[in-house]
Amino acid sequence: MLADKTVLVTGATQGMGRHLALELAAQGAALLLHGRDRARLDKVAAEVRAAGVPVRTHLADLADLDQVRAMAASIRSAEPRLDALVNNAAVGGGADPTRREVSVQGHELRFAVNALAPYALIRELEPVLPEAARVVNVASMGQEAIDLDDPMMEREYDGLLAYCRSKVAMIMMTFDLAAGLAEQKVTVNAVHPAHLMDTPGVREFGLTPVTGTDEGVRPTVRLLTDPALEATTGRYFHQFEERRAHDQAYDPEARARVAALMSRACERSRTA
Protein backbone atom coordinates (compact mmCIF):
# COMPACT_ATOMS: atom_id res chain seq x y z
CA MET A 1 0.00 0.00 0.00
CA LEU A 2 2.81 2.45 0.73
CA ALA A 3 5.30 1.75 -2.04
CA ASP A 4 5.69 4.92 -4.13
CA LYS A 5 3.70 6.90 -1.56
CA THR A 6 4.97 10.02 0.20
CA VAL A 7 4.02 10.41 3.86
CA LEU A 8 4.62 13.32 6.24
CA VAL A 9 4.92 12.52 9.95
CA THR A 10 5.05 15.35 12.46
CA GLY A 11 6.80 14.84 15.77
CA ALA A 12 8.93 12.09 14.25
CA THR A 13 12.01 12.44 16.46
CA GLN A 14 10.89 10.46 19.50
CA GLY A 15 8.11 8.36 21.01
CA MET A 16 5.47 6.97 18.69
CA GLY A 17 6.50 9.32 15.88
CA ARG A 18 9.91 7.71 15.58
CA HIS A 19 8.52 4.17 15.66
CA LEU A 20 5.83 5.15 13.17
CA ALA A 21 8.47 6.53 10.78
CA LEU A 22 10.47 3.30 10.97
CA GLU A 23 7.38 1.17 10.34
CA LEU A 24 6.32 3.28 7.35
CA ALA A 25 9.84 3.06 5.97
CA ALA A 26 9.73 -0.73 6.32
CA GLN A 27 6.56 -0.66 4.22
CA GLY A 28 8.30 1.28 1.46
CA ALA A 29 7.01 4.83 1.97
CA ALA A 30 9.08 7.86 1.06
CA LEU A 31 9.09 9.91 4.24
CA LEU A 32 8.96 13.57 5.14
CA LEU A 33 9.96 13.83 8.78
CA HIS A 34 9.21 16.82 10.98
CA GLY A 35 10.90 17.71 14.24
CA ARG A 36 12.03 20.75 16.18
CA ASP A 37 15.45 19.44 17.23
CA ARG A 38 17.96 19.17 14.38
CA ALA A 39 20.18 16.54 16.03
CA ARG A 40 17.28 14.21 16.86
CA LEU A 41 15.74 14.78 13.43
CA ASP A 42 18.95 13.87 11.63
CA LYS A 43 19.34 10.76 13.79
CA VAL A 44 15.89 9.44 12.91
CA ALA A 45 16.43 10.33 9.25
CA ALA A 46 19.60 8.21 9.25
CA GLU A 47 17.66 5.29 10.74
CA VAL A 48 15.01 5.61 8.05
CA ARG A 49 17.56 5.84 5.24
CA ALA A 50 19.00 2.55 6.44
CA ALA A 51 15.70 0.98 5.35
CA GLY A 52 16.50 2.09 1.80
CA VAL A 53 13.70 4.63 1.30
CA PRO A 54 13.90 8.34 0.45
CA VAL A 55 13.65 10.69 3.41
CA ARG A 56 13.54 14.47 3.64
CA THR A 57 13.48 16.46 6.87
CA HIS A 58 11.65 19.61 7.93
CA LEU A 59 12.64 21.56 11.02
CA ALA A 60 9.87 23.64 12.60
CA ASP A 61 8.45 24.63 15.96
CA LEU A 62 4.70 23.98 15.78
CA ALA A 63 4.16 26.52 18.55
CA ASP A 64 4.80 29.16 15.87
CA LEU A 65 2.20 29.31 13.09
CA ASP A 66 4.66 31.21 10.90
CA GLN A 67 6.99 28.20 11.03
CA VAL A 68 4.08 25.85 10.31
CA ARG A 69 3.27 27.82 7.15
CA ALA A 70 6.92 28.00 6.13
CA MET A 71 7.23 24.23 6.44
CA ALA A 72 4.09 23.73 4.38
CA ALA A 73 5.38 26.11 1.71
CA SER A 74 8.66 24.20 1.55
CA ILE A 75 6.77 20.92 1.13
CA ARG A 76 4.51 22.36 -1.55
CA SER A 77 7.49 23.60 -3.54
CA ALA A 78 9.42 20.31 -3.30
CA GLU A 79 6.73 17.64 -3.45
CA PRO A 80 4.40 17.10 -6.42
CA ARG A 81 2.03 15.21 -4.12
CA LEU A 82 1.59 14.21 -0.50
CA ASP A 83 -0.24 10.91 -0.20
CA ALA A 84 -0.60 10.90 3.57
CA LEU A 85 -0.13 13.15 6.58
CA VAL A 86 0.06 12.02 10.20
CA ASN A 87 -0.35 14.86 12.69
CA ASN A 88 1.42 13.15 15.57
CA ALA A 89 3.31 15.97 17.28
CA ALA A 90 1.81 17.03 20.61
CA VAL A 91 2.47 18.84 23.86
CA GLY A 92 1.37 16.87 26.93
CA GLY A 93 0.20 18.08 30.30
CA GLY A 94 3.65 19.35 31.25
CA ALA A 95 5.91 18.71 34.23
CA ASP A 96 4.24 21.60 36.10
CA PRO A 97 0.54 21.49 35.20
CA THR A 98 -0.13 24.74 37.04
CA ARG A 99 2.09 26.76 34.72
CA ARG A 100 0.20 28.20 31.77
CA GLU A 101 2.33 28.47 28.65
CA VAL A 102 1.58 30.26 25.39
CA SER A 103 2.64 29.92 21.78
CA VAL A 104 4.56 32.51 19.78
CA GLN A 105 1.26 34.06 18.68
CA GLY A 106 -0.04 34.09 22.28
CA HIS A 107 -2.40 31.10 22.18
CA GLU A 108 -2.52 28.57 25.01
CA LEU A 109 0.34 26.21 24.14
CA ARG A 110 -1.49 22.88 24.10
CA PHE A 111 -4.32 24.26 22.00
CA ALA A 112 -1.78 25.83 19.65
CA VAL A 113 0.40 22.76 19.06
CA ASN A 114 -2.22 20.00 19.35
CA ALA A 115 -5.05 21.64 17.41
CA LEU A 116 -4.14 24.91 15.67
CA ALA A 117 -0.92 23.64 14.09
CA PRO A 118 -2.49 20.49 12.58
CA TYR A 119 -5.41 22.57 11.31
CA ALA A 120 -3.09 25.09 9.67
CA LEU A 121 -0.86 22.38 8.23
CA ILE A 122 -3.74 20.52 6.60
CA ARG A 123 -5.15 23.73 5.13
CA GLU A 124 -1.76 24.84 3.81
CA LEU A 125 -1.04 21.42 2.26
CA GLU A 126 -4.40 21.02 0.51
CA PRO A 127 -2.91 21.89 -2.93
CA VAL A 128 -0.62 18.82 -2.85
CA LEU A 129 -3.12 16.35 -1.37
CA PRO A 130 -4.25 14.16 -4.28
CA GLU A 131 -7.45 12.17 -4.56
CA ALA A 132 -7.37 9.28 -2.06
CA ALA A 133 -4.84 11.00 0.20
CA ARG A 134 -5.27 10.13 3.87
CA VAL A 135 -4.87 12.41 6.87
CA VAL A 136 -4.63 10.91 10.35
CA ASN A 137 -4.82 13.12 13.42
CA VAL A 138 -3.42 11.46 16.54
CA ALA A 139 -5.96 12.30 19.23
CA SER A 140 -6.53 10.83 22.69
CA MET A 141 -9.17 9.12 24.78
CA GLY A 142 -8.47 11.89 27.27
CA GLN A 143 -11.13 14.40 26.22
CA GLU A 144 -12.77 17.24 28.13
CA ALA A 145 -15.29 19.87 27.04
CA ILE A 146 -13.80 23.18 25.93
CA ASP A 147 -14.92 26.24 27.89
CA LEU A 148 -16.17 28.23 24.92
CA ASP A 149 -16.10 31.45 26.94
CA ASP A 150 -12.47 30.89 27.91
CA PRO A 151 -10.97 28.58 25.26
CA MET A 152 -7.41 29.68 26.04
CA MET A 153 -7.87 28.97 29.76
CA GLU A 154 -6.85 32.41 30.95
CA ARG A 155 -8.97 32.29 34.13
CA GLU A 156 -8.20 28.84 35.54
CA TYR A 157 -5.42 26.62 34.30
CA ASP A 158 -4.46 22.97 34.48
CA GLY A 159 -2.05 21.42 31.99
CA LEU A 160 -3.72 18.03 31.75
CA LEU A 161 -7.15 19.63 31.33
CA ALA A 162 -5.68 21.87 28.63
CA TYR A 163 -4.31 18.80 26.85
CA CYS A 164 -7.68 17.01 26.99
CA ARG A 165 -9.49 20.08 25.68
CA SER A 166 -6.99 20.48 22.85
CA LYS A 167 -7.72 16.91 21.74
CA VAL A 168 -11.45 17.66 21.59
CA ALA A 169 -10.60 20.65 19.42
CA MET A 170 -8.50 18.37 17.21
CA ILE A 171 -11.39 15.94 16.83
CA MET A 172 -13.79 18.79 15.99
CA MET A 173 -11.31 20.00 13.38
CA THR A 174 -11.07 16.46 12.00
CA PHE A 175 -14.82 16.27 11.45
CA ASP A 176 -15.01 19.71 9.84
CA LEU A 177 -12.05 19.24 7.49
CA ALA A 178 -13.30 15.78 6.50
CA ALA A 179 -16.50 17.39 5.26
CA GLY A 180 -14.58 20.17 3.54
CA LEU A 181 -12.22 17.80 1.73
CA ALA A 182 -14.83 15.19 0.79
CA GLU A 183 -15.18 16.51 -2.75
CA GLN A 184 -11.43 15.97 -3.26
CA LYS A 185 -11.85 12.43 -1.87
CA VAL A 186 -9.25 13.15 0.80
CA THR A 187 -10.03 11.33 4.03
CA VAL A 188 -9.44 12.84 7.48
CA ASN A 189 -9.77 10.70 10.61
CA ALA A 190 -8.72 10.89 14.25
CA VAL A 191 -7.38 8.05 16.36
CA HIS A 192 -6.58 7.31 19.99
CA PRO A 193 -3.65 4.99 19.25
CA ALA A 194 -3.01 3.43 22.67
CA HIS A 195 -3.43 4.12 26.38
CA LEU A 196 -0.55 5.75 28.27
CA MET A 197 2.19 4.85 25.82
CA ASP A 198 5.81 5.04 26.88
CA THR A 199 6.41 8.55 25.57
CA PRO A 200 8.27 11.60 26.93
CA GLY A 201 4.97 13.43 27.44
CA VAL A 202 3.52 10.69 29.61
CA ARG A 203 6.66 10.41 31.71
CA GLU A 204 7.07 14.19 32.01
CA PHE A 205 3.64 14.46 33.58
CA GLY A 206 4.58 11.80 36.12
CA LEU A 207 2.29 9.09 34.76
CA THR A 208 3.35 5.46 34.51
CA PRO A 209 3.36 4.10 30.94
CA VAL A 210 1.33 0.93 30.48
CA THR A 211 1.89 0.23 26.77
CA GLY A 212 4.75 0.48 24.29
CA THR A 213 4.71 2.86 21.37
CA ASP A 214 4.48 -0.08 18.96
CA GLU A 215 0.92 -0.65 20.17
CA GLY A 216 0.00 2.84 18.98
CA VAL A 217 1.77 2.45 15.65
CA ARG A 218 -0.44 -0.39 14.41
CA PRO A 219 -3.85 1.36 14.53
CA THR A 220 -2.30 4.51 13.06
CA VAL A 221 -0.77 2.63 10.13
CA ARG A 222 -4.07 0.84 9.56
CA LEU A 223 -5.80 4.15 8.92
CA LEU A 224 -3.17 4.89 6.28
CA THR A 225 -3.19 1.54 4.52
CA ASP A 226 -6.37 -0.50 5.02
CA PRO A 227 -8.22 -0.71 1.68
CA ALA A 228 -11.49 -1.14 3.57
CA LEU A 229 -11.05 2.39 4.96
CA GLU A 230 -10.41 4.05 1.60
CA ALA A 231 -13.64 6.04 1.76
CA THR A 232 -13.93 6.29 5.55
CA THR A 233 -13.65 9.88 6.71
CA GLY A 234 -14.68 12.15 9.54
CA ARG A 235 -14.50 9.41 12.17
CA TYR A 236 -12.91 8.94 15.57
CA PHE A 237 -11.23 5.60 16.28
CA HIS A 238 -10.27 4.12 19.62
CA GLN A 239 -7.35 2.05 18.36
CA PHE A 240 -8.98 -0.26 15.77
CA GLU A 241 -12.59 0.42 16.69
CA GLU A 242 -14.71 3.32 15.52
CA ARG A 243 -16.23 5.04 18.54
CA ARG A 244 -18.09 8.15 19.55
CA ALA A 245 -15.86 10.97 20.76
CA HIS A 246 -16.76 13.49 23.46
CA ASP A 247 -20.33 14.75 23.10
CA GLN A 248 -19.14 18.33 22.55
CA ALA A 249 -17.44 17.26 19.32
CA TYR A 250 -20.91 16.69 17.81
CA ASP A 251 -22.44 19.95 19.07
CA PRO A 252 -22.95 22.18 15.98
CA GLU A 253 -22.71 25.45 17.93
CA ALA A 254 -19.57 24.40 19.78
CA ARG A 255 -17.99 23.16 16.56
CA ALA A 256 -18.80 26.40 14.77
CA ARG A 257 -17.30 28.51 17.56
CA VAL A 258 -14.10 26.49 17.71
CA ALA A 259 -13.80 26.47 13.91
CA ALA A 260 -14.19 30.25 13.84
CA LEU A 261 -11.56 30.58 16.57
CA MET A 262 -9.09 28.46 14.60
CA SER A 263 -9.76 30.30 11.37
CA ARG A 264 -9.32 33.71 13.02
CA ALA A 265 -6.15 32.64 14.81
CA CYS A 266 -4.56 31.43 11.59
CA GLU A 267 -5.69 34.45 9.59
CA ARG A 268 -4.43 36.94 12.20
CA SER A 269 -1.06 35.23 12.20
CA ARG A 270 -0.91 35.41 8.41
CA THR A 271 -1.57 39.14 8.32
CA ALA A 272 0.49 40.08 11.39
Of 119, 157, 163, 236, which is the active-site residue? 163
| 67 residue type, one letter | Q
Q: Span 237-266, mean pLDDT?
A: 97
pLDDT in tens, 13-32: 999 999 999 999 999 999 99
Report whether pLDDT(263) > 80: yes
pLDDT of the residue at 209:
58
Q: What pLDDT does residue 219 have? A: 96
Q: Is 163 a catalytic residue?
A: yes
Distance from C-alpha of 223 to C-alpha of 81, rounded to nearest angstrom: 19
pLDDT of res. 234:
98
Complete domains list, the chain, with CATH: 6-271 (3.40.50.720)
**Is residue 202 scored above 60 in pLDDT?**
no
Whole-angstrom distance, CA of residue 137 vs CA of residue 271: 27
Q: What confidence tier does 215 reach under pLDDT thresholds 50, 70, 90?
A: confident
DSSP strand pairing (187-192 vs 236-238)? parallel
Long-range contacts, 54-62 (Cβ 8 Å, 24+) = 54/30, 55/25, 55/30, 55/31, 56/31, 56/32, 57/32, 57/33, 58/8, 58/32, 58/33, 58/34, 59/34, 59/35, 60/34, 60/36, 61/36, 61/104, 62/10, 62/36, 62/89, 62/112, 62/113, 62/117
Q: Which amino acid is at 155?
A: R
